[in-house]
Amino acid sequence: MATHVFDTMGTGASIRFAGDLPPAEALTAVETCFAEFDAQFSLYRSDSEISEIARGALTLPLASERFRDLYAEALHWRSLTHDSFSPHRPDRVLDLSGLVKAKAMDAAAAGLSAADVHDWMLNVGGDLLVDGNLEGSPWHVAVVDPDDRCHLLCTFDLDGSRTSLATSGTTERGEHIWRSRATSTYRQVSVVADDIVTADVLATAILAGGRERLDEAVETFGVDVIAVDADGSIVATERMHRAHGFAL
């Protein structure tokens, strides 16, 4: 077993391989993939395409095809989540950060697959995407307790088509989510899905939209969810109830 660690998008990232590290060019390609997304979509970079749009130096019709495609995908998710997920900040600045990390993870995974590299777990800022298995066993993952970062809320296997886990919360970054429902008091939401984009978008949408969005996400997308409310109470789907180490 081997691990490759790197920094990207203002956070730590790692790829844990079931066997030895793949060739250096495969690892470089992964880091390059993230760097390209960050260079194009980071509002913290004055030279990024999205920063040019934010200050009016570039208009959407003249933006790159990838930018326009990602914006269209964000608008589609906004419709699917009844505005609980949105690319438009309250100050009207276009912000695609809710999609960018997951899309970069997805692209990096495609690159590893094309290079015939399998059986790995990609961790970017606590969001996980896995491929294959660990020496014949599913990848075992965990959700951290927002009240005690040294304690695990639950642990479970990412197996079958369930390849992705994303968490959105207020513990580390404070209130950075634009809540669409005043009644939403969730402090942390973790979503397990068949792909990282769905998991990441819905974790944000549920944190913003509350129990209504949680129930709708489970019904519409068939995801598994565990959410922690402001009072410490926990809402979890059946699979998460059964997760090893989790008790209500």
- pLDDT tens per residue, range 170-221: 765 544 455 555 567 899 999 999 999 999 999 999 999 999 999 999 999 9
- Confidence (pLDDT) at 243: 67
Residues forming a β-bridge with 4? 15
134/65 Cα distance (integer angstroms): 38
Domains for the chain: give ranges and CATH numbers. 2-241 (3.10.520.10)
For the ranges 62-76, 171-185, 209-223, 230-244, the lowest mean pLDDT is seen at 171-185
Burial 51-66 (b: 16+ CB within 10 A, else e): bbbbeeebeeeebeee
pLDDT band at 248 (very low <50, low <70, confident <90, very high): very low
- Please say whether the dihedral angle defined by the alpha carbons of residues 183, 193, 150 and 123, taken in this order, is positive or negative: negative
Q: What is the mean pLDDT of residues 69-83?
A: 97
For the ranges 20-24, 180-184, 202-206, 236-240, the lowest mean pLDDT is seen at 180-184
Is the pLDDT reported for residue 34 higher than 70?
yes
Q: Cα separations (Å) of 213 from 3, 150, 234?
A: 36, 29, 15
187/189 Cα distance (integer angstroms): 7
Q: Cα Rg for the chain, rounded, in angstroms?
A: 18
Other CB atoms closer than 10 Å to residue 40's CB: what's the count? 20
Burial 189-200 (b: 16+ CB within 10 A, else e): bbbbbebbbbbb
Q: Which residue has the higher pLDDT, 179 or 48?
A: 48
- Please say whether the dihedral angle defined by the alpha carbons of residues 131, 2, 168 and 241, taken in this order, is positive or negative: positive
53 with 59: CB under 8 angstroms? yes
- Please say whether the dihedral angle defined by the alpha carbons of residues 189, 190, 192 and 197, taken in this order, is positive or negative: positive
- Confidence (pLDDT) at 160: 85
DSSP string, 34-103: HHHHHHHH-TT-TTSHHHHHHTTSS-GGGS-HHHHHHHHHHHHHHHHTTTSS-SB-TT--B--HHHHHHH
- Confidence (pLDDT) at 179: 52
6/38 Cα distance (integer angstroms): 14
Place of tokens 């949105």: 86
- Confidence (pLDDT) at 215: 95
